[in-house]
Amino acid sequence: MRIVIAEDSVLLRDGLTRMLTAGGFEVVAAVPDAAELLKAVAEHRPELAVIDVRMPPTHTDEGIKAALVIRRQFPDVALLVLSQYVEESYATDLLSEATSSVGYLLKDRVAHVRDFQDAVRRVAAGGTALDPEVVAQLLVRRRDNPMDRLTPREEQVLRLMAEGRSNAGIMEILKVSPSAVEKYVTNIFLKLDLPPTGTDHRRVLAVLKYLGS
Amino acid sequence: MGAGAPHSARPMILCTLDVMVWRAIKNALAGLITGLAGGILLLGLLVIWGSALISLVDGPGGWEHATLYVAAVVLIPVVLPWLVQGLTSLQRSRLLATLDIEIVPARTTGRASWSAGPWLATGTWRQLGYHVLALPAGIGAALLAFLFPVFPGLARWSIKTDERLARKLLGPTRRERLAERVESLARSRADLVAAADAERRRIERDLHDGAQQRLVSLAMNLGMARERFESEPEPVREALAAAHDEAMLALTELREFIRGLHPAVLSDRGLDAALSGLAARAPLPIRLRVDVSEPAAPGVEAVAYFIVSEAITNVVKHAQATRAEVAVTRVGSRDGDVLRLTVTDDGRGGAAAGGGDGTGLRGLTQRAAAVDGTLTIDSPPGGPTTITAELPCES
């Protein structure tokens, strides 16, 4: 899989390159800022871009802005945004335009090498990888609420869905049987008034509803 | 003309005179000249104004005359405050030249009331009084000056009286001095708050660019090592795992610390975004309502953020609450808009601003006061507790 990395710290840029290369990915470019990132994406057409939020020149949210530009110009490039802090307002910006092939993770997560590599694969395959902290923050902002109809357990399952977990993953984390997970998921669809079409599509809709967008 | 070089400055015949006496004589003479100039000017204007007024009432007819009288009657009071100002600076320069006394005009408050209307300025009437007194006083002092060489005490008394009178009538009043002092204190405090805020941002940036990146890199390397050496003997794996876990812990602690210094999102996205992050990270459910039409000054927003942050920490530590509510609104008041923060919890109450476990709350009160804000705590035993802070939006 071909990847472009945008990260202003040389140390981390090199570290990420090494770590992804070791994981079997091909890092085609590693750049220090948003302008270089857009250039590299246009040139290499990678399958995924790993983007730091805070980059020169203003050191605020360049990464989010660049990610949104990439999504508009190159919709088939998956986006994995890394941030030293997870902030709901950045996540909202990102998710308002990108609801699939997108991830938003705390930078610390790169240290859990295997999980991080899994997240890269998941996002590149069209899924999502939201940091549990992002999900928690979005939950605070939830105002409307068919969500109130969910039991705490169902909400927990939905939360894991939003993080991008499959049924098998949820089963493993909650230590419940496959049929129990099926039941929770079906109940969630039912309570959120989601039409019985393909499961994957409904999963995405449920997550979107959950994120309040 | 200081006491340092008196000899070269006076005629030979006066060589035996005491420095102080010589100075008093010079001052009396200068005072006579300035007093005469001012007195004659003011008296002259008074005479012209009075006769113009009388002439207007029952003087000879003719519209040319009437116009002239009206002009004199109206114009003299209008220009008088400026004349008074001119005379005042003349007297101030005299005092500086002969007695080395500097009478500083009332700065800010004086100017402010002057722009409201010269006659309403507090200084104008007092200064006019001084210039009226200066004529008889000047003549009196000049006459007494002949006695100065014989009675040095008299010379000293004349200098003292002159100075006291000038300070009272030409300098700022006690109220003006206090107002100036308050203003300068408020300014220097605002500067201090802003400097501390800027310093926190700088440290945040430095840590973010330096230690934090290095620590992420370290943790990642340890993570990679942990994966790679999975088949090594137990002690190696254990050591690596411990190092990795510790690095992750250090990373988390450093992040919390840096966020406590100054949350980057506060500068980028404002109070609303920063508070929602804060609410989400709290270990108890917090309902957040932010209704702020336009952002307050950055320093004020930082204080607001820290007050809410510290209040929530207090709720978590002490209140035994199951939920909390944070509301931030911008409300208009007489002295400009204020940011009103309320943090309410359903805990056991009994919180107090001072003493006991209330040190955190005392800190909050100080934070609010630093930007001229207020903070009140309502916490009856048994709860609920409400902390309300009001911060002026511009600092």
Q: Among B129, B131, B109, which Cα is nearest to B121's?
A: B109
Q: B203 touching A, CB under 8 A?
A: no
Edge-to-edge order in the sheet of strand A78-83: A26-31, A2-6, A48-52, A78-83, A102-106, A128-130
A106 forms beta bridges with: A83
Minimum mean pLDDT among B71-75, B102-106, B343-347: which range?
B102-106
| Residue of A18, A89, A110 with shortest CB distance to B265 | A89
Which residues 222-281 of B are in CB contact (within 8 Å) with A? 222-224, 226-228, 244, 247-248, 251-252, 255, 259, 263-265, 267-269, 272-273, 276-277, 279-281
How many angstroms separate the CA of residue A154 from the nearest CA in chain B? 18
Percent of chain B surpassing pLDDT 90: 28
Q: A86 touching B, CB under 8 A?
A: yes
Q: Among B295, B291, B290, which Cα is nearest to B278's?
A: B290
CB contact under 8 A, B264 and A54: yes
- 3-class DSSP state for residue B53? helix
Q: Give the pair of three-digit tokens for residue A88.
A: 């709901």
**Residue of B207, B216, B257 best to disrupt the A interface, most CBs of A under 10 A:** B216
**The pLDDT of residue B61:** 67
A13: confidence class by pLDDT, cuts 50, 70, 90? very high
- Mark residue B67 as left, alpha or beta (left: phi above 0; alpha: psi -120 to 50; beta: remaining): alpha
Q: Among A96, A2, A99, A10, which Cα is nearest to A52's?
A: A10
How many angstroms separate the CA of residue A92 from the nearest CA in chain B? 11
B139: confidence class by pLDDT, cuts 50, 70, 90? very high
- 3-class DSSP state for residue B342? strand
Q: B348 touching A, CB under 8 A?
A: no
Q: What is the pLDDT of residues B313-339, one digit of tens each?
A: 889 888 888 889 999 999 887 778 899
**Residue of B204, B220, B256, B287 best to disrupt the A interface, most CBs of A under 10 A:** B220
B327 forms beta bridges with: B289, B342
B338 forms beta bridges with: B331, B392
A111: confidence class by pLDDT, cuts 50, 70, 90? very high
Name the pairing type of β-strands A128-130 and A102-106: parallel
Q: Looking at the predicted structure, is the pLDDT value of residue A145 above 70?
A: no
How many angstroms separate the CA of residue A98 from the nearest CA in chain B? 20
Q: Give the pair of three-digit tokens for residue A2.
A: 């071909």
CB A145 within 8 A of CB B285: no
Mean pLDDT of B113-128: 71
> What's the rounded Cα separation, in Å, for the pair B269 and B273?
6
What residues have CB less than 8 Å from B212, skipping those under 6 apart?
A84, B251, B254, B255, B258
Compute CA distances A86 → A6, A83, A133, whole Å.
Answer: 18, 6, 7
Q: Looking at the predicted structure, is the pLDDT value of residue B12 above 60?
A: no
Mean pLDDT of A158-168: 83
DSSP string over A68-104 = HHHHHH-TTSEEEEEESS--HHHHHHHHHH--SSEEE
> What's the rounded Cα separation, in Å, for the pair B13 and B22?
12
Q: What is the pLDDT of residues A40-94, one digit of tens each?
A: 999 999 999 999 999 988 888 899 999 999 999 999 999 999 998 877 778 878 8
B60: confidence class by pLDDT, cuts 50, 70, 90? low
DSSP string over B208-274 = IIIIIHHHHHHHHHHHHHHHHTTTS-HHHHHHHHHHHHHHHHHHHHHHHHHHHH--HHHHHH-HHHH
> What's the rounded Cα separation, in Å, for the pair B224 and B244?
9
CB contact under 8 A, B255 and A111: no
Count CB atoms within 10 A of the CB of residue B242. 11
A199: confidence class by pLDDT, cuts 50, 70, 90? low
- 3-class DSSP state for residue B225? helix
**The pLDDT of residue B109:** 46
A190: confidence class by pLDDT, cuts 50, 70, 90? confident
A160: confidence class by pLDDT, cuts 50, 70, 90? confident
**Neighboring chain A residues of B267 at a CB cutoff of 8 Å:** 60
- 3-class DSSP state for residue B387? strand
> What's the rounded Cα separation, in Å, for the pair A107 and A63?
13
According to the per-residue pLDDT averaged within each range, which of A4-13, B109-118, B351-360 is highest? A4-13
Any idea what DSSP says for residue A58?
T
Q: Give the pair of three-digit tokens for residue B22.
A: 């010589």
CB B230 within 8 A of CB B291: no
Any idea what DSSP says for residue B112?
H
| Residue of B205, B277, B286 with shortest CB distance to A88 | B277
Compute CA distances B10 → B143, B153, B176, whole Å.
Answer: 20, 21, 39
Q: What is the pLDDT of residues B196-228, one digit of tens each?
A: 888 988 999 899 889 999 999 999 999 999 999
**Neighboring chain A residues of B308 at a CB cutoff of 8 Å:** none
Q: Among A14, A189, A212, which Cα is nearest to B218's?
A: A14
How many angstroms separate the CA of residue B209 from the nearest CA in chain A? 7
Q: Give the pair of three-digit tokens for residue B215.
A: 């620590």
> In which residue are the tokens 């003493």 written?
B355
With vertex at residue B138, the alpha carbon angle to CA B132 and CA B143, rounded to the nearest 5 degrees, is 145
- Evaluate the omega torsion of the peptide bond into residue A196 and state whether it is cis, within 30 degrees of 0: no
Q: Among B22, B8, B169, B161, which Cα is nearest to B103's?
A: B169
